[in-house]
A and B are shown apart, each in its own frame.
Chain A
Amino acid sequence: MSEIKPLLEVKDLCISFRKGGGRKLPVVDAANLSLNRRKAVGIVGESGSGKTMLCRALIGTLPRHGAGIVSGTVRFDGQELAGAPERVWRGIRGREIGYIPQSSLAGLNPVLTVETQLVESITAAGSLSRQQARQEAVALLEQVQIPRAQQVLQARSHQLSGGMRQRVMIAAAIAQAPKLLIADEPTTALDVTIQREILSLITQLRQELNMALILVSHDLAVIEESCDDVMVMYAGASVEAGPVAALSNAPRHPYTRALRVSRVDRAAPGQDLEAIPGDAASVGSWPAGCRFWPRCALADEDCRRDPQPALMPAAQQLSACIHAERLSELEQ
């Protein structure tokens, strides 16, 4: 395993919002992620856990959102991207790393036709004529299984259903056959039946194009269906990472376990769900030490002490819980 160079390696990444007077508000402070070529990793976490900011760091759009990388490294295909200038990002974004944003409605320009927007993504690569680009656009729409591609090219986003819009966004993201596709909650606003279709489309395209995939979701079940590995984020930090099967059979962080056992399919009707007590630590008021301790049944004095525990090997995965070996106690 160790001789394979990962396609993407994020180490101890810290991201802050820039506030007035040179102050900074940390939103991610210990993100770690490793992804091999053609593999799929899921990032799971709740709102405010920093997963979307991590994605933005990977496509170089943090400055547009008033944020920046404070420290840490992002190595992609042998190149260091943390702190890279916009000139470098222009060669990466779209070409090497495709991105499907959370909201397909916001991702498409409502006054432009699908054709105009797709052709823009295609010609960004270089030397195609408009006519060639148009043919390419039709081929892309067919690749994302949009029927009547010619008609859809002339449509504007409001004329398309949510599922169709998301397919168009996927077409734009894969236009230049990137090595890595990042999908940030691609199915959140969609019906369950459409969600199923979009997820299988992404999986199919990944195989056809030999892409690696980062799939962000708040739903562990979605990730378990589509990914090889998973990385769990809580309050700006990676708290557990490893193969999907390892985390689902024997999680080594209490938060991962809690995400699993609080699901509705884990209780019979008429029984209480095992809810996580309290509320997620919000940005700007993270507790000292492990950020999950106020909600954790295993927490003791050691958990409340800074620094925040780092990811360490535990069984087949990495866990940031200092009591990773005691997780079975929670089952009683």
Chain B
Amino acid sequence: MAALTAHAGEKLQENAADGPLLEGKDISVTFGRGTEAFDAVRAASVTLYGGEAVGIVGESGSGKTTLARVLVGLQRPSAGEVWLEGERLYSAAAERRLPRSERWKTQMIFQDPYSSLNPRMRVWQAVAEAVQVWHNLPRAAARVEALRLLHTMGISDDQARQFPKSLSGGQRQRVSVARALAPGPKVLIADEPTSSIDQSAQAQLLNLLRHLQSERGLAIIFISHDLGLVRYLTSRVYVMQKGDIVEAGETQAVMEQPQHSYTQLLINSIPGR
């Protein structure tokens, strides 16, 4: 791994002045016990600097989602630590859950926008709830802030009054982004956010994520099995296979000169190649 991380060295140096924003150090996650034990993630270390977009790529079962869940505090690691802005956020030794006071800093959007929104809440309410919880605002002010966030995601007031079922997959995913942004997080983790939405909506969502990163300086971890998406959106990438990070580096370099046979296989599998 030492050689691999040196690969991405230069870019890292530029941002390294401030130190990493988010760091996962030697994270392992084991599910089950004894002979049933299964290592979902093995000693994976990832680093995210302020304002950058980093990809984690791999297939189902590679451990990428589990690793992401550790980074946002949804899953306690079996070993290892998560550091945010130079402070330890979460570790294997910690209490079961990430302390409430820390949870707003990292937010996540999920693969399936159909199941991640409450079907009985109007769209604006789903976002206003998050605003109220994190900013302790009165209801009316939370509503105004929710509508503002939804606007920036291209959701009109009219659409905000609907229930999620009346919205398209792409619209629902943009609502999820608005909700994730409500607490003003430092890191957004997007787990296969485009895999269940149509292609025309995919381009809209990718543009939006890219603008959040490039214009508002939001650091993004983008998880996908599709290296084509990762190539477009991220500057560095980690490739995971069966729980291990097998390759890491600048996205362009990894795409042009993959060092690991599995990375090569993923590249060859991009449709249209």
Q: Do A and B bind each other?
A: yes
Residues of A within 8 A of B (CB): 46-47, 162, 191-196, 218-222, 224-225, 258-259, 262-265, 267, 269-270, 272-276, 279-280, 282, 295
List 4 A-B pairs, minimum CB-CB distance, nearest first: A221-B272, A275-B203, A221-B271, A262-B203
Q: Is the interface of B mostly helix, strand, loop or mixed?
A: helix
CA distance A276 to B225 in the complex (A): 24
- At the interface, yes or no: B98 with Cβ under 8 Å from chain A? no
- At the interface, yes or no: B259 with Cβ under 8 Å from chain A? no
| Beta-carbon contact of A272 and B210 below 8 Å | yes
Q: Which residues of A contact B169 (CB under 8 A)?
A: 47
Q: Which residues of B contact A270 (CB under 8 A)?
A: 210, 214
CA distance A280 to B235 in the complex (A): 31
| Beta-carbon contact of B60 and A191 below 8 Å | yes
CB contact between A276 and one of B203, B210, B251 (< 8 Å): that residue = B203
Q: Which residues of B contact A263 (CB under 8 A)?
A: 199, 203, 272
CA distance A273 to B229 in the complex (A): 11
| Beta-carbon contact of B270 and A192 below 8 Å | yes
Task: A273-B203, A273-B206 given; name 10 further pairs at CB < 8 Å.
Answer: A191-B225, A192-B266, A193-B269, A258-B200, A265-B228, A265-B270, A269-B233, A272-B210, A275-B204, A280-B198
Q: Which residues of B contact A264 (CB under 8 A)?
A: 203, 206, 228-229, 231-233
CB distance from A46 to the nearest CB of B (A): 4
Residues of B within 8 A of A (CB): 59-60, 168-171, 198-204, 206-207, 210, 214, 225-229, 231-235, 251-252, 265-266, 268-272
CB distance from A260 to the nearest CB of B (A): 10
| Beta-carbon contact of B271 and A269 below 8 Å | no
| Beta-carbon contact of A219 and B203 below 8 Å | no
| Beta-carbon contact of A46 and B200 below 8 Å | yes
Q: Which residues of B contact A273 (CB under 8 A)?
A: 203, 206-207, 232
CA distance A224 to B198 in the complex (A): 18
| Beta-carbon contact of B214 and A262 below 8 Å | no
Q: List 11 A-B contacts (CB under 8 A).
A: A46-B198, A196-B268, A196-B269, A221-B271, A221-B272, A222-B271, A258-B200, A263-B199, A263-B272, A269-B251, A275-B203
CB distance from B242 to the nearest CB of A (A): 13
CA distance A295 to B214 in the complex (A): 27
CA distance A263 to B214 in the complex (A): 20
A224 (CB) vs chain B CBs: closest residue: B272
| Beta-carbon contact of A195 and B271 below 8 Å | yes
Q: Which residues of B contact A191 (CB under 8 A)?
A: 59-60, 225
CA distance A218 to B60 in the complex (A): 21
| Beta-carbon contact of B272 and A267 below 8 Å | no
B227 (CB) vs chain A CBs: closest residue: A192
CB contact between B199 and one of A193, A218, A267, A272 (< 8 Å): that residue = A218
Chain A CB within 10 Å — which of B59, B199, B206 has the most?
A: B199
B204 (CB) vs chain A CBs: closest residue: A275
Q: Which residues of A contact B268 (CB under 8 A)?
A: 196
A190 (CB) vs chain B CBs: closest residue: B60
Q: Which residues of A contact B207 (CB under 8 A)?
A: 272-273, 275
CA distance A230 to B71 in the complex (A): 43
